[in-house]
Each structure stands twice: as structure tokens, then as C-alpha cells.
Amino acid sequence: MASRLWFGLGPARSRKEQPGLQALSDKSRPQAWLKASQQNSVTNERDTLKRTNTAIEATSRSLTTEKDNLKRQLHTCTSQQNSVTNERDTLKRTNTAIEATSRSLTTERDNLKKQLNTCTLTQNSLTKERDMLKRTTTGIEARSRILSLEKDQLNRTLNTCTLSEVSLIKEKDKLEKKLSDFAQFVQKKWLYFSGSFYYISTTMKTWQSSQYDCWREGADLVIINSNEEEQFTRKFAKKAWIGLTDRVREGSWKWVDGTPLTRSYWCTGEPNHYIRRNEDCVEIQKFDSECSWNDAECTNENYWICEKKLDI
């Protein structure tokens, strides 16, 4: 700017002065006037320079102020730049770390997705297998219940069969025993009538001895339970002891198996303990009448009739 102002002094001169100066030069004025003129010119130039210098100083101060402001701004800008740079670097590092973390998380996510897919497929497979096993288990349980019911039924049937078998074995043994007894009594010439075998003795004994003899054969003195049996015993046509007595309690007639007398076939006027005899035992006395019983002393000797109940 100073160069511009300096070189502009020439043109700044007044055009009115130029013709005068040219005239003075032309007329060769005196040296004093020339000096005065030069002095004025210098003064003017000085003043101009002062003004220029003042302007330059003002400009310099302005530039200095502007420079200081710019320095401050530069300092501030530099500080901010440094701060931003640091922040940028920090953000770069953070971004790098985030990107690394992101890549790691992406990889982990992809792995987890794969694991999830595998787990889902496995879960679906296991679910199907579980459902199949449930259906199978349900079927097995139903079959098990059916088998259990069948087993229980079979057990009951087996128990029934076993009981039936035991019963049949017992019945067979009884039948075999009965058949054996039947054959034995038939061989001994006993007579069979209405479920019992009967033996009429060929010798005579007291009532008690007669009972002992029947016991030895596994029988008892005859117990008459029906009119048909009473008629059958009379067919032997022998005066014989039967299994009826009141020896335990007078007047309380009982059969040898302990059952009380309910139907009787006494002769007329019997039992009477004739002439106060101790007539505690019963004999068949008559053979042509249903009223055929008589009480007699147990020590008397008679034939006797044994009876062995043996239903076939």
C-alpha cells in the first residue's frame, strides 16, 4: 500500500501548478524561488507522507489488531482443531473398537443363528419324537391296561380253575373213597339203600357193644330219617338195636349223631320204662307195622343194624 501511495504523489499534484512551474522553468526563475518551490514540494510531500504514514500506521494498527485477532482465532482454531483431532482420534479408536465389537457380535450372532437353527431343528425333531413316544406310550399304557385286565381275568380264571381242580381232586378222592368204601361194603355183603349201606348182624350183643362193632366198620347204629327207611329196616325181620337212646338225659331221645328225635315210630304205649326198668335204648320189635319201636334195657342182647351213609 505504501508503494502505491508513494508512486501516486506525482499524479496528486495540482494541474494548475504544473503550468506555473513549467513557466518558471522556462523563464529561468531565480534559485530561491526554486528552493522555495522545492521546499513547498517537500513539505507537501512530507505532509502527504505523514498522511500516508498515519494511514499506514492506522492500517498497521488495524492489521496488528486483525493479526492478533487472527492469532487468537488461529490459537482457538488450533486448540479446537487439536480437540477435534483428539476427539476424532478417540472416535476413530472407539469406532474401530465398535467395528471390531460389531464384527465379533455379527460373527457371534451368525453363530447363534446357526445354533438357534440347529436347536430349532433338534427341538422340532425331539418334539416329533416326544409326540410319537407319547402316542406310543399311550398305546402301550392302553395295551398294558388291557393286558393287566386280561392277566387279572386269567388269574381269576386260573384261581377258579385251580379251586375247581382242587375241588375236583377232592371230589375225585371222595368218589374214589366212596367207590372204595362201596366196593368194600359190597364185598362185605352190606346192603345199599337210598344213599346208605346197611349191615344186619348175625350175632347178638348189647346196645353199646353193637355201637362199638358199627364204629369198627366206620359206621353207626342206624339213624332212621324217613318212613321209607323205617320200612326198609323192618324188612330184615329181626329184633335189632337202632341208634336211638335217652341215656344222657332221661326222656330226651337223641340219635347217636347227637340230633334230637323229630319223628318216631313207637309201638303203642311206648316208650314206657316197663316195670320201672332202665329202658334207655331202642329196638325194632315188630316187623309188620309202622309202629315198630320199643324201649329196652341197653344191657339186653339183640341183633343190630349198622348204617354207613355213602351217597354215590
| Each residue's pLDDT tens digit, 150-168 | 999 888 888 888 888 888 8
For residue 29, pLDDT over 70 is answered with no
Highest mean pLDDT among 11-25, 34-48, 252-266: 252-266
Dist CA 70 CA 78 (whole Å) = 11
pLDDT for 6 beyond 50: no
How many other CB atoms are there within 10 angstroms of residue 285's CB atom?
A: 18
Q: Where does CATH 3.10.100.10 sit in the chain?
A: 190-309
Q: How many residues does the chain have?
A: 312
- 222 against 39, higher pLDDT: 222
In the CATH scheme, what is the code of domain 190-309?
Answer: 3.10.100.10
Rama region for 273: left / alpha / beta (φ>0; ψ in -120 to 50; rest)? left
Beta carbons of 171 and 177 less than 8 angstroms apart:
no
Could you give the 3-state DSSP secondary structure of residue 304? strand
Select the more confidently predicted residue: 148 or 34. Answer: 148
Residue 8's pLDDT is 44
Helices (H) and strands (E) in the chain, counts: 6, 8
Cα end-to-end distance, the chain, whole Å: 166
Q: State how far the Cα of 281 lies from the Cα of 279, in Å rounded to an integer.
A: 6
Asked if pLDDT for residue 12 goes beyond 60, the answer is no
Q: Is the pLDDT of residue 264 over 60?
A: yes
Residues 113-140, mean pLDDT to the nearest whole number: 89
- The more confidently predicted of residues 76 and 209 is 209
Coil vs helix vs strand at 261: coil
Range among 75-89, 203-217, 267-281 rated most confident:
203-217
For residues 1-20, average pLDDT: 48
Share of the chain above pLDDT 70, in %: 89
pTM of the model: 0.49
